[in-house]
Amino acid sequence: MKPIFAPLAILGALTAAAIAFPATTAATVMAPRPVMDIAAVSHRETAVFAGGCFWGVEGVYSHVKGVISATSGYSGGSAATATYGQSSTGRTGHAESVRVVFDPTVVSYGQLLRIYFSVVADPTLKDAQGPDRGTQYRSALFPLSPAQARVARAYIGQLAAARVFPRPIVTTVEPFRGFYPAEAEHQRFMARNPDYPYIVVNDRPKVDALRRQFAANYRA
């Protein structure tokens, strides 16, 4: 991820770097429907996804029908280190994550996983997405229930068996130890800054891919 506020010279250099290392997402992959999913028993469930900079992950899921809210934050580490400055060191255990509250009668957890592996993140990159490097940018799922854990692992196995990707999937399924919302300036960053260079190069294409590949699930 790039600093939100930077002198023009630095911003220019960062933009050039983003162009030199374009987003490597699975935007051209259409992952299959999950064989295993979770039946809806309520109108409100929560899931946590990590797949690179949380600006893009939040931006994609905020355009999915059935998503009630998408919040950028940190997961994988402790509350004491859940800040942008500390997580950016890559030594806190945190991954930049997004908490998605959704209505499973509209969009299931399995469907959210399908969108994740299709357009949100490249699951074959270890500790990296697009121009970003570090464990805080890892591809990870943080199930909030045994059912979510089963479905997540089963779907990764399904994708691997079908050889959907040209390289092994390295997405981890990690114990959920808590979610800590990020600072206010990181919330709804894409919606508030649609022309920010990093967003234009790395994240807007993900939303475009969502609209093309999952038209029935897309909302403006």
List the catalytic residues: 53
Exposed/middle/buried for residue 197 (C-beta within 10 Å: 0-12, 13-18, 19+): middle
- Residue the block writes with tokens 């999952």: 214
DSSP 123: T
> What is the DSSP code (8-state) at residue 64?
B
Nearest to 77 by CA among 88, 90, 93: 93
| Separation CA 70–CA 56 (nearest Å) | 11
β-pairing, 139-141 with 45-51? antiparallel
